[in-house]
Amino acid sequence: MKSIPQTHIITADCISKPGTVDVVTRFLFKQGFYINEIHSFVDTTENRFFIRVEFRAETDKVFDREDFCEQFQQRANEFDMQWQLASRPYKSKVVIMVSKHDHCLNDLLYRYRTGDLNIEIPAIISNHPDLEELAKWHGIPYYHLPISKETKPQQEAKVLKIIEDSDADLVVLARYMQVLSSEMSKKLSGKAINIHHSLLPGFKGAKPYYQAYDRGIKLVGATAHYVSDDLDEGPIISQCVETVDHSYYPQDLAAKGRDIECLTLSRAVRWHIEHRIFLNGSKTVVFSK
């Protein structure tokens, strides 16, 4: 049986000027690679160029990563291009943080278990003990780290230690109902994704779906974004929304919201681990399929 060629992903960004696409594609052509997928975008407001290319060798020769990087860097230097290279198969290490709500965690664990998300989960961290059995069933270490206003610095130090020891590529706040400190948010910048309902900022606080019901809401949605120092205002990765009507009672709205949160979060995680997201100031460039 013929083996499937190994694929690689190169992502890059730089100041926009003529030749930016060519610097990547011509190099790959001369090196004998075949392009499977390519996306590029120019932010004309910021004059910034972004590109993602998935490619493979047309022969069975061994991929020399060090030689590839050394040669491509010479080309990239001409454009002051910032770039990264990833090779498949590669499983991103994802640490999940959660409180008591289990729907997003359940969804991520199912996608992990079935291989739908190509990830490893070295740790699940929670400020409550409730979901430990779920983690144990999947054979994943569960860290119960209670938190209070007085113990927040110590608790976050333990969380960061677990993340660092796990060599995590990404941290997912799967309905982790705690506000991260400014220091922790900065340390996780660009590598932590949060999910929340898109009833914000209209319906804050306790029982938002009851508040929404009382106002006759017609749209329910969710937003996945990178964590930032500004609560729930980090660069947005993915958003989903669905219509509802007068027949939806608060519990129906909440159920619909849970479904949308799961879909929105898993989509954001997928795009991150597939290197489809670029940070662009306070925004993102997302090359979704």
Q: List active site positions.
A: 232
Question: In angstroms, rounded to a whole number, what is the distance separating the alpha carbons of residues 251 and 103?
Answer: 15
Pick from 282, 128, 257: nearest CA to 203: 257
DSSP readout, 4-64?
Answer: PPPEEEEEEEEE--TTHHHHHHHHHHHTTEEEEEEEEEEETTTTEEEEEEEEEESS-PPP-
Q: What values do phi and psi take at 277, rounded to 5? A: -115, 135
Helix pair angle (65-77, 20-30), 10° resolution = 150
Q: Which residues pair with 59 in a beta bridge?
A: none
Question: In angstroms, rounded to a whole number, what is the distance separating the alpha carbons of residues 151 and 155?
Answer: 6
Q: Which residues pair with 168 in a beta bridge?
A: none
